[in-house]
Structure 1
Amino acid sequence: MIELSHFSFAYAGGRDEGLKQIELCVGQGECVLLCGKSGCGKTTAIRAVNGLIPHFYDGIKQGRALLDGQCVEDMPMHEISGLAGTVFQNPRSQFFNVDTDSEIVFGMENLAYSRAKMEQRMQQVTEELHLHPLRRRNIFHLSGGEKQKIAFASVYAISPDVILLDEPSANLDAAVIEELKDMISLLKKQGKTILISEHRLYYLRDLLDRAFVLEQGEIKAVYSREEFLQLTDAEREQLGLRAFDLEQVRFGATCDNRGYNTVGQTAGIFDCGKHRPPYELAIENAAASHRKKAVWKNVRFTAVSGEIIAITGHNGAGKTTLARALCGLQKLDNGSISLNGRRLTPHKLSKLAYMVMQDVNYQLFAETVEKECAFGVKRADPHAVREALEQMGLAEFAERHPNTLSGGQKQRLAVAASLVSKKEILVFDEPTSGLDGDSMCRVASILRNLAAANKLIFVVTHDPELIASCCSHIIQLGKGGLLEDCRLDETNWPHAIYHSILQ
């Protein structure tokens, strides 16, 4: 069904995540995984199959991309979309409507389905994907996970023979990832051909048939499912891959063998923690709403500088709302936020706090990566900018435009910019979404260094590997309030805390 033969592609402008002489074949009914470090070419391979290369992205192409025996380059886009449906990492990039029902039927309308067939298919999709709570909703009012389900449903509705998934789990909580797993399993039972680019591997253990590991645009290795799952931890980490089994993730693992355990550095962007005053931030009886709908209430907890606090909970529990409140971007309906006993207004919080957003495209403004790091910072230290880029593995891209980076590289750039900001309260909203194992370890190391410098650090995350690597405290939201507030250690990690993260 899918074939890339001697396929090479170099993006116009010199972007590095192209492909070099790729040989890839996916048979009817196979589920094939593309994995590897950020920027290795996974998304480019997806674009070659769905026709975005060469119909949308400019560059130099060699070799052939075939879909059901036909050359993709010679096929019109409407014909390609009838054969292959794509779910992108950021579902917002593929929405054309403002309500969920219209979005689900959009593809069917473009393929000229009759009204009766659309209604019948809509009911079938709703039942099979359990979409009843998402019907007739405003897309802009959905959580990230709910948007991803609608994107999947819109593709599933037209029932293409080939399904292409590009980092589909990047912004999903554990419960929605389980639903995604069930959806992919349903596609397999229907005999669909599936090509999936992914960093999170644990939920695909029972689904994949083969795995292709890419490195710098080339295929480094090809494994059967059995061979892939038998890789040792050292071999897996050498390839920059994440864990195959979350039950085996150890609390306190610091990625030493990947070379990012740098706690204790005090030069450059990291101030020496022992010379900084301690901070205690308290939230008392807080309540917040979003678009006039209550999100949570009676939330109270205390955070101390030097800790790394994970904010967890299911999609839609209000984690991002809490993050925005901590940064002064959202006013509380009730309650207060105080620092060392002094109550803070949203304006004062905005002066003290910096937020790395979940969708980093909202906060990238400058024309080069280097300038982005210093954007909005008065008298930014050029040395600190260079060191931040080096810490995040982006120094070689300093003169590139931020929009030419891969999704994972953009995420790392936003983290680098937070380091240069010199703010006392740092809030990271899903900082490892779309990141490979190496990049996740880079972020964990940066967070530990910031904690050693007595910063107040909050991390909104669904990522148990990140939490195990660096977090010392967990705040879990759900059911309109606070469900969990406790410190993390070796005794509670594998049991109650592990299950609270994944529920």
Structure 2
Amino acid sequence: MTNGTIMIDETPSIRFDHAGFSYAAEPHAGVRDLTFDVPQGTVLLLCGESGCGKTTVTRLINGLAPHYFDGTMTGTVQVNGVDTRATDLAGLARHVGSVFQNPKSQFFTLDVTGELAFACENLGIDPDEIRRRVAETASDLRIGDLLGRDITALSGGQRQKVACAAVCTAGPNIMVLDEPSSNLDASAIADLRAIVARWKARGHTVVIAEHRLYWLDGLIDTAMVFRNGRIARTMTGDELHDLADDECRRLGLRPTRADRIAPATAPATATVATSVTSPTNPAESWRIERFSYTYRHAPTPSLDIPSASLPARAVTAVVGLNGAGKSTFARCLQGLDRRAKGTLIAPDGERLDRRDRLHTCFTVMQDVNCELFTESVLDEVLLAETDDTNDTNATRAHGILRDLDLTEFADRHPLSLSGGQKQRVAIAAALASNRPLLIFDEPTSGLDRRHMEQVARLIRRIAEHERRTVVVITHDPEFAALACDHMLTLDSGHVVSARPLDAEGRAELIDRLTA
């Protein structure tokens, strides 16, 4: 590599020639002067801290930049010899298939079969050929049991599989995935890995922008680390595998192997409060009684918890496979839905019904777009505060923004930010609230290593110094090992285990979230 230039093959499937893109709304964001070739059949990893430019690279490959996102493009990008700037999105769809971080944002139909057929129909493919492709793809990706199902009723992992299948049916030989593992459990990640391996074996070029790296170990041919819109380092998959942890940290990367995730002992920022917050001690716990939730038209409850405890002034990880009932549990705990049944008993003995819990809990939802309401990031944090002294509000809000590296975005509209930045804004609002019980549903989705560790430290501070209780629903093993004191495991809407995260408990946690 010379000045960000990588020459790999004379007949690449992807070619960047002094390519750059700057967004109209953010002239300093984007990428600059990238020159590299990617040969057919390569699995290319794009990594680096949030805002480094990796998502912009994926948009240049699939044509969303400049055809969808407003901005200025320089240089050229070619896919299979086709100039992306000179070809419309419909033409590029024949060459490039894209799977986004949130697959819901790319679905056009209501059922799985229709979704798999949709792209082929737009390309004018013969109906008999479409049916053949749908059946073949469903068989290849092992989703035959999902055909005909309502997409909105699927789990996150199932939706991700459907998104992968939908791009396969159109027949592109370049696949682009942006943060594909961010909301998936260990089983769904294993399935996603198998899909990528199958694409690679068939000679497809696969480009993956990702923060969570361990699941890609052994699949990557080339890794590009981005910083400030440029390529900071390029390495082979083997070099990425062998990268020392201190070098990963310097580059802003999460651990590259599963065996490097779990700390051997409790994190230095944590005081594992097992002795004072045992789940079996009612005086030091929030107690759950007869929690249940039944979705409309469902014959049986999706959540059924006769009793359970959440240690007070501690951080509890709620874990389980996609569809185990974790997000439903959060809805019941917060009392967000009238179908949520049951009582929460505070450590002081106060009994809280659903309406009471609305004013006791604060939830950061998995899809943060649903809870950003104001015109600026600062106003979003101020809205969450309940202090009556405006000066105090502003001072504290600015301090929270500083702690989460959001000061420069204080006047920006929250919905104009990147996914990881919006996630941190929602977390900032939760920190600003004075609620005694905070619930985070996948708080590190889309966060790089530095910001993931930053959020872990802040959540520990909430429990230890502000003496509030935190419940974290997570599939993120690195974050859970750093931030949490206890683990509550759900399966099919039931609590199957509850234990402190001592050394043995953390080993079990990592095994559950990575195996």
TM interval, shorter chain, is over 0.9
1:235 deviates by 0.5
Residue 63 of structure 2, aligned match among 32, 39, 51: 51
Question: Does 2:437 align with 1:425?
Answer: yes
CA distance in 1, matches of 2:219, 2:236: 12
> 1:321 is matched with which residue?
328
Deviation at residue 120 of structure 1 after TM alignment = 1.2
Residue 477 of structure 1 is matched in structure 2 by 490
Q: Which has the higher contact order (CA 8 A, sep 6+)?
A: 1
Aligned to 1:42: 54
Could you say which residue in structure 2 is the equivalent of 1:234?
A: 246
Q: Which amino acid aligns with 1:282?
A: R
Alignment match of 1:375 (pick from 383, 400, 415): 383
Residue in 2 that maps onto 1:467: 480
AA matched with 2:318 = I
For residues 366-405 of structure 1, what are the alpha-carbon distances to aligned partners after superposition, in whole Å with 9 as ceiling and x for unaligned? 1221112222544460011101111111111112221221
Contact between 1:255 and 1:441, CA under 8 Å: does it hold in 2? no
Amino acid at match of 1:320: S
Of 364, 378, 386, the match for 1:356? 364
SS class of match (2:94): helix
The CA deviation at 1:253 is 6.7
Q: Which residue of 2 aligns with 1:346?
A: 354
1:310 correspondence with 2:317: yes
- 2:39 equivalent among 21, 27, 34: 27
Distance in 2, matches of 1:444 and 1:227, equals 28
C-alpha displacement of 1:255: 7.5
Deviates more, 1:16-25 or 1:314-323: 16-25
**1:314–1:478: 8 Å Cα contact kept in structure 2?**
yes
**Which of 259, 280, 283 is equivalent to 1:247?**
259
**2:285 paired residue number:** 280
Shift of 1:178: 0.2
Which consecutive segments of 4 or more residues in structure 1 shift more than 6 A? Answer: 252-256
Cα distance in 2 for partners of 1:299, 1:438 equals 39
Shift of 1:52: 0.8
Is the Cα–Cα contact under 8 Å of residues 253 and 469 in structure 1 kept in the other structure? no
1:111 aligns with 2:123: yes
Secondary structure, counterpart of 1:492 in structure 2: helix
Which residue does the alignment assign to 1:269? none
Query: Per the alignment, do residues 14 and 367 of structure 1 end up closer, same or farther by CA in structure 2, a change over 3 Å counting?
Result: same
Per-residue CA distance 1:292-323 (angstroms, 9 max, x = gap): 43212135211122210001111111100101
Cα 1:262–1:247, aligned 2, differ >3 Å: closer, same or farther?
closer
How many residues matched? 484
8 Å CA contact 2:266–2:503 kept in 1: the answer is: no
Q: Which moved more, 1:186-195 or 1:113-122?
A: 113-122
**Cα separation, 1, equivalents of 2:296 and 2:181:** 26
Q: How far off is 1:234 after superposition?
A: 0.4
* Number of the residue aligned with 1:486: 499
- The aligned counterpart of 2:217 is 205
Note if contact 1:325-1:331 (Cα within 8 Å) is conserved in structure 2: no
Sequence identity of aligned pairs in percent?
36
RMSD of aligned C-alpha atoms? 1.8
Residue by residue over 1:454-489, the C-alpha shift from the partner in whole angstroms, topping out at 9 and shown as x without a partner, is: 111000000111111011111111133112211111
Q: Structure 1, residues 271-309: CA drift from partner, whole Å, max 9, x if none?
A: xxxxxxx86311123222223432121352111222100
Secondary structure, aligned partner of 1:112:
coil
Question: 1:462 is matched by which residue type in structure 2?
Answer: H
Q: d(CA) in 2 for partners of 1:480 and 1:321?
A: 8
Q: CA deviation at 1:70?
A: 1.9
In the alignment, residue 370 of structure 1 is paired with which amino acid? L
Instruction: Quote the Cα distance in structure 1 between the aligned partners of 2:23 and 2:235.
Output: 28
Contact 2:481 2:509 in 1 (8 A): no
> CA shift at 1:431, angstroms?
0.3
Q: How does 1:422-461 map to 2 (within 5 A)?
A: 422-452=434-464, 453-461=466-474
TM-score when normalising by structure 1: 0.92
Residues 15, 405 of structure 1: 8 Å contact kept: no
- State the alpha-carbon separation in 1 of the partners of residues 27 and 414 from structure 2: 11
Deviations 1:73-122 (A, max 9, x none): 00122110010000011111111111121111111111112121111111
1:66 aligns with 2:66: no
Segment of structure 1 superposing worse, 467-476 or 131-140: 131-140
For residue 320 of structure 2, what is the amino acid of its counterpart?
Answer: G
TM-score where L is the length of structure 2:
0.90
1:130 equivalenced with 2:142 (yes/no): yes
Which string of whole-angstrom CA distances, capped at 9 and with x for unpartnered residues, describes residues 3-54 of structure 1?
1211121111225431011223211110000000011111111001111111
Say if 2:294 is the partner of 1:289: yes
SS in 1 for 2:291: strand
Counterpart amino acid of residue 295 in structure 2: H
Kept after mapping to 1: 8 A contact 2:362/2:438:
yes
Cα deviation digits, residues 425-457 of structure 1 (max 9, x gap): 100000001111111101100110001121110
Q: Distance in 2 between matches of 1:262 and 1:386?
A: 25
The alpha-carbon deviation at position 128 of structure 1 amounts to: 1.1
